Amino acid sequence: MAMKVMIVEDEVLVRLGLKKAVPWSTLGMELVCEAADGAEAYEMFVRHLPDIVLVDIELPKMDGLSFIHYAKTRRPDAKFIILTCQQDMSYARSAIQLQVADFLLKSTLDMKELCDILQNLSLELRQKRREAEATGEEDMNRSGRRRRFFQSWLDGVLPVPDPDRFDVQLKEFSPALKAERYQAWVVQLHGASLTEEETESVGEEIERLAVRQFGSRYLGGTPELPKRRWHLIFSGSAPASDAVRWKEAVEQTGGLELAIAMSAPFADPYEWRTFDRQAADLLQAEFYGRVGEVYAKDDLISETMSEAVLKLKRNMYERAGSLQFEEMKRLVGDLCGALKQPPYLHPPIVKNMFTELLFRLWSACEEIASGSVSANHRLVDRFYAAVRLDELAELLLTELARAGEEVRSHSQDDKTKTILQIKQYIKTHLHRELSLQETADAFYMNSSYLSRLFREVTDQSFTEYVLREKTELAVALMKNGMHLTQISEKLGYQNLSSFTRMFKKVRGVSPSRYMDQT
């Protein structure tokens, strides 16, 4: 079997150079994955469990040394080669403490030397495998073997029992795979600022108290230290009240704050990974302010927007298009209230929705206020980094205040600004019949005043402008190949004849004749 190799390097050219320069197949190796930052590297490592990793020290999101530390908790026998520009001896000392296989400088890197190191590591790993197969046991104590077993189980790489194939892990821990039913728990640590060693101690306390309260029902678990999270598996199905009592015991012992997510029961032990992810999804309720609870409802998280949320989203989108800042501020509160009603939307869906509103706002500022408001794309990163809905709402409200202030200070006179906003409002409502009174109400104006103001600024009536815009949209849709019946429905007309009469009144000819002429 080929040795699995991984490259962790944030510089694209370095990654490409390593991929092309090293004769992987000749060395009996397979390059299974690559990553550009430490966080991505950890996720890829857990998924592929490579034998050898080439890793840089200075990486975004998580540095290379931290990545190695966490990766070793998942696979202690993996070999790591550090490739770096850093000559600082403190890095070298840290690498030695982590027992990395080698420490190479990029500036003096010799490909032949790297290939020799890779080949020697491959021979060493193969020799250890042969020794393990010959003796029938792993070169680690029972605690380490147990940790490796549960990690392999959760990662979905545990082999299925086969009478014709000997497997050390299955032989020693096979009783855990013989329960009639299982339940996955995900335990999340909150609040306290702890060192890595202290976090590991919390994991040991979680294990000890799980054994004390649940006995043989607690089968085991595995940590996910970067997220300060532990994945546990039980035989049978515990009620939420049991989890609440156990949570209180852990919190009282260590002065901690925990959240617990519990999966539905399942029968196939090889489905732990699936049900663990379902349990982890329940923790997303914390985005909505429900922190430190026990979550056990399967339908707590949803991917479908409620009717209330959809209606508010459409309303906010329309208000953003016409720069109605005060209305948008009010609607932000209403939207957050609707979003905090279970079942909760997956947070990424909410962040996408808020980002769409943000870009709609900037687009309207460009159209109406002649680009007086500059887009702040760093704000988008902050939107996606938000860990709570209230934080996300505050970011949007702050941007609404900033944009509103900049638009108000723009040089256009008030009448022109108002009509530009109304025009934008009309364009977002062409799909239905739009009256002068409804538009006046949306802008808190008297309809007669709006009628006079519109003609004064545009030299045409409100109705003339609405119908002209409808025909402009109709022409665009006809050029895109849409049938007239579909167009009439899209523009809010009950039948084709009504649409045709409107079009002929505005353009002087029927829609089909107009297209023939153009």
Tell me: the pLDDT tens digits for 130-141?
Answer: 766 555 444 445
Helix (H, G, I), strand (E, B) or coil at 516: helix
Q: What is the pLDDT averaged over residues 381-407?
A: 90
Report residue 188's pLDDT band, with 50, 70 and 90 as the boundaries.
very high
Spell out a b/e string for 439-471, using b for 16 or more CB atoms within 10 Å of the CB, else e. Answer: bbebeeeeeeebbebbeebeeeebeebbbebbb
pLDDT > 70? residue 410: no
pLDDT > 80? residue 408: no
Average pLDDT, the chain: 85
Q: What is the pLDDT of residue 283?
A: 94
pLDDT, one tens digit per residue, over 66-121 is 888 888 877 788 889 888 876 666 666 777 777 788 888 877 878 888 888 888 88
The span from the CA of 502 to the CA of 454, in Å, is: 21
The span from the CA of 434 to the CA of 450, in Å, is: 14
Q: What is the pLDDT of residue 279?
A: 94
Q: What is the pLDDT of residue 306?
A: 93
- What domains can you pick out in the chain, each with its CATH number? 3-135 (3.40.50.2300), 153-159+176-296 (3.30.70.1230), 307-411 (no CATH), 415-517 (1.10.10.60)
Q: What is the pLDDT averaged over residues 341-364?
A: 91
pLDDT > 50? residue 211: yes
Count of CB atoms situated within 10 Å of the CB of 413: 9
Identity at 278, one-letter amino acid code: Q
Higher-confidence residue of 154 and 416: namely 154
Q: What is the pLDDT averaged over residues 238-267?
A: 91
Q: What is the pLDDT of residue 1?
A: 64
Q: What is the pLDDT averaged over residues 355-384?
A: 77
Spell out a b/e string for 252-271, using b for 16 or more CB atoms within 10 Å of the CB, else e. Answer: eebebebbbbbbeebeebee
Q: What is the pLDDT of residue 206?
A: 92
Q: What is the pLDDT of residue 169?
A: 59
The span from the CA of 246 to the CA of 60, in Å, is: 37
pLDDT > 70? residue 53: yes
- What is the reported pTM? 0.59
Report residue 166's pLDDT band, with 50, 70 and 90 as the boundaries.
very low
The span from the CA of 242 to the CA of 258, in Å, is: 14
Q: What is the pLDDT of residue 196?
A: 78
Higher-confidence residue of 137 and 386: namely 386
Higher-confidence residue of 387 and 367: namely 387
Shortest CA distance to 6 belongs to which of 37, 48, 65, 58? 48
Q: What is the pLDDT of residue 352?
A: 92
Q: What is the pLDDT of residue 138?
A: 46
If 0-12 CB within 10 Å is exposed, 13-18 middle and 19+ buried, where does residue 185 land? buried
Report residue 44's pLDDT band, with 50, 70 and 90 as the boundaries.
confident
Shortest CA distance to 98 belongs to which of 131, 76, 129, 116? 76
Count of CB atoms situated within 10 Å of the CB of 401: 12
Report the percentage of the chain scoring pLDDT > 70: 90
